[in-house]
Structure 1
Amino acid sequence: MRVGPLAREKIFIRAAKLNQFLRGYIMDIVRRMDSRAAQRALERLYGERADKQLWRYKALAKKFAERFGREDFKFFSAPGRTEILGNHTDHNGGRVLAGSINLDTIAAASPRGDGKITVNSEGFDREFCLELSELGPVYSEQGTTNGLIRGIAARFKQLGMNIGGFDACIMSDVLRGSGLSSSASVEVLICQIFSQFYNDGKVSVMDIAQISQYAENQYFGKPCGLMDQLACACGGVVAIDFNEALMPECESVKYDFARKGYSLIITDVREDHADLTGEYAAITEEMGQICAHFGVKRLCELEEKAFYASLHELHQAVPDRAILRGIHFFEENKRVQRGIQALKKDRLPDFFREVILSGESSWRLLQNLYKPGSIKQSLPLALAASELLLKEDGAWRVHGGGFGGTIMAFVPNAQRKIYIGQMNRLFGEGAAVELCVRPIGAVCLEM
C-alpha cells in the first residue's frame, strides 16, 4: 500500500511533535533529579561519590523515557559484594565476614498491569521479555537474565507473595568475573522491584536473599551458597553464620575503613579461570569426605576436638589434601570470629593480622590459589607483590573462589596510588580497582 505525499507529511509532523514532547519530557525528568531530595538520596548510598553517580541516574532516566515513554518510574539500586573473611566456609555451615560495595546495579522501573516483564539491560543487544503466566523452568534460559527473572517470579509465587509485570532499564558497574557478585546484585535488584511494586516493600532481606539463591540454583543453573545474595541484600559489613542452613544468622558490624585511612582495593590478576568447575567442586567434595567419615552432612556439625583427635585415622581414610582443607575450615571460622571482635573493639592491626592469616591459610591449606601442577601462578604473585608493597601496614588475601580471579587488599591511603600503579603495571591497566563499603543494601530510592 502506497503512502501519498500528504499522508507522509502528516506522519513526519506527528513524529516531530512526539520527539519534541519527549525532549521536553526528558528535560523535566533530568531537572527533577537536580533537586536537593535527589542529592540526599544519592549521598546516602554513595557518600562523597554522589555527584559522580548523578550522571548514571540521569542517563538511566533518559533511556527509560526514550524506551517506554513514561515518567512514572522508580529508581532501584543493589550493590555488589566483597568477601572480607571466611574463604570457602559458607558451604559447610561456617562463618564469613562480607560487605556490600559502592559498585552497584541500578534500575528505572515502572509497574504494568498485563503480567508482562520487559527489561532493557545495558551491554546486551536484546531485551529480556517474559510473561508471568509461564513460570516453569526453561532449559534454554539457563545462564541468562531471563532465567533469573523467571526463577525469582516463580519463587515469589510459590511462597504466596504477590507478583506482577513491570518495565525496567538496567545499568551496572559491578565488574563481571571479578568475584564481586554481579549476578547476585541483579537478582536482589529484581526481588526489590517485586517487593516494592507488589508487596508494599515488605519482603524481608532474608527472603530476598533466599529467593535469589533459588533462582540462581534452579533456573540459572549455577550452584551457589547464600553469602553473595545476603551481603548484597543486607548492606554494610555483615557477619554471617551459616550453621543454620535454612535461616543463617546475620549481624551488622559497623565499621568505616575509609575513615580509618584505608582503601579497599580489588586486583584482577587476569588469569583465565574458566573450566575450573572441577577444582571448585573438589573443595566441597573433599570436605564432604571428612563429613562422611564422621557421619555428618557438614563440617559445622563436627566437633573440632573430634576432628583433631582423629587425624591419624583420617590420614588412613581420606586424601591428605582433604584433611588440610578441613583444618582450614576450622581455623578460618575462628579467624572470622576474632576479626569481628577486633572490628568491634576498633583494633584494626589485629583485624589485619586475621586477614593476612586467612590468605596464608587459603594458599597453604585450602590450596585454591592455582590449579595443581600449573606454573601460571598469578594469584600467589599478586599476594607476594602486595606483601612487598605494603609490608606491615595493611592486609591482603585471595578474594572469592580462587584458582585465578582476584585478590583483596586494605591499603593505607598514602600508598593507594603507588599500590594501584604497581598492580596495574604487573597485571595490566585497570586491573586494580578501588572500592569502599556501602552502608545500604538493595533499596528503592526516593528521588
Structure 2
Amino acid sequence: MSNPAQRATKLFVQTFGTKADDLYQAPGRVNIIGEHTDYNEGLVLPAAINFHTVIAVKHREDDLFRAVTDAFPGQIKQWHFGEEGTVSSNDDWANYLKGVTSAMHTSGLHAKGLDLAIVGNVPLGAGLSSSAALEVAFGTAISYASQLHLSPLAIAQLSQRGESQYMCHDCGIMDQMISALAVEDHALLIDCLELESETVLIPEELSIIVIDPGINRKAFMVQFEQRRKECSIITALLGLDSLRDLSSSYLEQRRDTLSSEQFRRARHIITENARASNVARAFQHNNIARFSQLMAQSHQSLRDDFEVILPEVDILVSMIAEHIGERGGVRMSDGCVIALIEHEFTDNVINLVEQEYTQKTGLEATIHLCSASNGAGRISKLPRK
C-alpha cells in the first residue's frame, strides 16, 4: 500500500483535476501516563507516533475551503472562512476542520481558502487521537499557506479551542499539543495548566506497543464523559478552580465533603499527576524497573479509584505484566493498552495477545507497533507517483 503522502497526492488530483501545491502532516499519539489528568489541568506524558494524517493542499485566492477524504469517499465538504455555520451531524469529519477555521476567525486571524485532500493511517476509534492529528495538520497547512507564522503551540491552542467551542467537546489540550510539538524518540511532559512542556527521551531499549483490545468504544466514551462530569462536581464541592490545585493533605481535610466514591476519584487525579512526573524522571535515569512500578500503580488506580477498567482489559494488562516483569511497563490508556517493553519481549507479547487473550475473553485485539515521531509540519517534497 502506498504511504499517506502518495495517497493524498493521488486523491487530490482525482478530486480537483490538478496537482497540489504542498503537503502537511501531523501525527497521532499515545499517552504513556497521565490518565484523566489533562482536562483537570494536570500533568501528562504522551508521545507522538508514526501514524499520521496527511493533507495535500492547493492555495486559493478567495476564502473558500473545499475538503475531501478517502475515509469517506465521494464527500466534498465546503465552507467559507468565518462562515462555518452550526455543527452538523452530517459533517462529522468536516466539523473538526470547521472548528479550526472558526477558532482562527474568532481570534481575529484572516486566512485564504484551500482545496484539500486528506488521507491518514492513524487508526480510527482506537484512542490514538486521529481527530487531533486532523486538526493540527489542517491548522499547520493554513498557517503556512496564509503566512500566519503561528507557533506549534498556537496551532494546538486554536485546534483545541475549535473542538471545545465550535464542536462543544470539552477536551483537554494534551492531544493537540503532542501532535504539534512532539520530538522524535521523545515523550513530552506537558503541564496542562501552564501549557509548558519538557522533552523526555524514551529509553532506547524500549519498544512501544499499542493494543486495541476490541472493547465497545461507545460505552467507553460514555464512561469517560461520566468521569469528566464527576471531576467537575468534585472541583466545585471543594471550591477549587481545577483538581490540579488539589493536594493530598487538603483532600484529607475535606474528606467529609465528598462521598467515598468522589474521594477515590480525586485521589486518582492527585496520584496520577505525581506518577506522570515520576515516570519522566525514571526515563531520564533509565530506570526501567521504577517505570514498571509506576505504570502498574497507574493501572491499579484507574481500576480501583477511578473505576474505568473493564475486566477484559484488566486480563490483557495482567497477562503482559506477568510476562515482562520489571522489564517494561503496561497499563490501560484511553481505552487501549499501551506497553513499553524491552525489545526482546516484543514477539512474545504479540504471540501472547494473539493467542491467549482471545482464548480468555473471546475478543480479538489489534496490535500496533509504534515509534515516537516528530510533531506536525510541512512535507518538503511532493512524492513521485
Task: State whether TM-score is above 0.5.
Answer: yes
**Which of the residues 282, 287, 297 maps onto 1:357?**
297
- One-letter amino acid of the counterpart of residue 436, structure 1: S
> How far apart are 1:222 and its partner, in Å?
2.6
Establish whether residue 189 from structure 1 lines up as the match of residue 137 from structure 2: yes
Give CA-to-partner distance per residue, 1:269-301, whole Å, 9 cap, x none.
111131455422332333334323331131122
CA distance in 1, matches of 2:152, 2:316: 35
Partner residue, 1:35: none
**Which of the residues 408, 420, 444 maps onto 2:350?**
420
- One-letter amino acid of the counterpart of residue 342, structure 2: P
> How far apart are 1:382 and its partner, in Å?
0.9
5+ long unaligned stretches in structure 2: none
Give CA-to-partner distance per residue, 1:358-390, whole Å, 9 cap, x none.
1121112111113xxxxxx21111111112222
Partner residue, 1:131: 79
**Which of the residues 244, 248, 253 maps onto 1:309?**
253
| 8 Å CA contact 1:420, 1:433 repeated in 2 | no
Q: 1:120 to 1:284 in 2, by over 3 A?
A: closer
Q: 1:275 to 1:384 in 2, by over 3 A?
A: closer
| 8 Å CA contact 1:144, 1:220 repeated in 2 | no
Q: 1:347 to 1:275 in 2, by over 3 A?
A: closer
SS in 1 for 2:88: helix
Query: How many aligned positions are there?
Result: 373
Q: 1:421 to 1:277 in 2, by over 3 A?
A: closer
Partner residue, 2:330: 396
Point out the more displaced range, 290-299 or 421-430: 421-430
SS in 1 for 2:305: helix
The equivalences for 1:192-341 within 5 A come to 192-200=140-148, 202-236=149-183, 237-244=187-194, 248-253=195-200, 255-257=201-203, 260-311=204-255, 313=256, 317-341=257-281
CA distance in 2, matches of 1:397, 1:86: 11
Establish whether residue 150 from structure 1 lines up as the match of residue 98 from structure 2: yes
Establish whether residue 433 from structure 1 lines up as the match of residue 368 from structure 2: yes
CA distance in 2, matches of 1:193, 1:272: 34
Establish whether residue 382 from structure 1 lines up as the match of residue 332 from structure 2: no
> How far apart are 1:430 and its partner, in Å?
6.0
- One-letter amino acid of the counterpart of residue 435, structure 1: C
Partner residue, 1:348: 288
CA distance in 1, matches of 2:196, 2:171: 18
Q: 1:284 to 1:345 in 2, by over 3 A?
A: same
| 8 Å CA contact 1:89, 1:329 repeated in 2 | yes
Q: Runs ≥4 in structure 1, deviation > 6 angstroms?
A: none
Question: What TM-score results when the alignment is normalised by the length of structure 2?
Answer: 0.90
- One-letter amino acid of the counterpart of residue 434, structure 1: L
5+ long unaligned stretches in structure 1: 1-51, 371-376
| 8 Å CA contact 2:67, 2:115 repeated in 1 | yes
| 8 Å CA contact 1:118, 1:127 repeated in 2 | no
CA distance in 1, matches of 2:50, 2:3: 15
Question: What TM-score results when the alignment is normalised by the length of structure 1?
Answer: 0.78
Give CA-to-partner distance per residue, 1:81-113, whole Å, 9 cap, x none.
111111111122211111111011112111111
> How far apart are 1:332 and its partner, in Å?
1.1
CA distance in 1, matches of 2:333, 2:218: 16
CA distance in 2, matches of 1:338, 1:133: 44
CA distance in 2, matches of 1:131, 1:243: 33
> How far apart are 1:183 and its partner, in Å?
0.6
Q: 1:120 to 1:243 in 2, by over 3 A?
A: closer
> How far apart are 1:182 and its partner, in Å?
0.5
Give CA-to-partner distance per residue, 1:63-92, whole Å, 9 cap, x none.
323332333521111000111111111122
CA distance in 1, matches of 2:82, 2:193: 36
**Which of the residues 100, 107, 111 maps onto 1:159?**
107
CA distance in 1, matches of 2:37, 2:375: 23
CA distance in 2, matches of 1:321, 1:336: 23
Answer 1 or 2: which has greater helix percent: 1
Q: 1:285 to 1:115 in 2, by over 3 A?
A: closer
Give CA-to-partner distance per residue, 1:48-74, whole Å, 9 cap, x none.
xxxx9x744333323323332333521
SS in 2 for 1:169: strand
- When the two chains are superposed, the root-mean-square deviation of aligned CA atoms in Å is 2.1
Point out the more displaced range, 81-90 or 410-419: 410-419
